[in-house]
Amino acid sequence: MRKGKFGFSSGGKERSDKYPVYTGELYAIYILKEYQGNGLGKLLVKPIIEELQQKNIFNDSLGTYVVFNYQSVLG
């Protein structure tokens, strides 16, 4: 495993208004392959949920769009 950054996440208010059941949205999450499967996704999503709860945006579910076959620029 390499040292340093292992991934990132971003989230906030649901942007499309297409899915009114979701008030919050996970905009992006990425974890380097060698770090996947270790619970780091939960670690990256937790602060997003906490911030949305503080802003009264989170209602027990997050919307997200899934992109398949994404090619990492990080390698």
- Residue 33: inside a domain: yes
Instruction: Give me the number of domains the chain comprises.
Output: 1
Q: Which has more confidence, 66 or 27? A: 27
| Segments forming the whole domain that contains residue 38 | 7-63
Residue 18 forms part of a structural domain: yes
Residue 11 has pLDDT above 70, yes or no: yes
pLDDT at 16: 87
Domain contains 68: no
Q: What is the pLDDT of residues 17-60, one digit of tens each?
A: 888 888 899 999 999 989 999 999 999 999 999 999 999 988 78
Paired residues of 24 in beta bridges: 13, 62
Residue 27: predicted pLDDT: 92
Reduce the DSSP state of residue 40 to 3 states and report it: helix
For residue 26, what pLDDT is reported?
92
* Model pTM score: 0.75
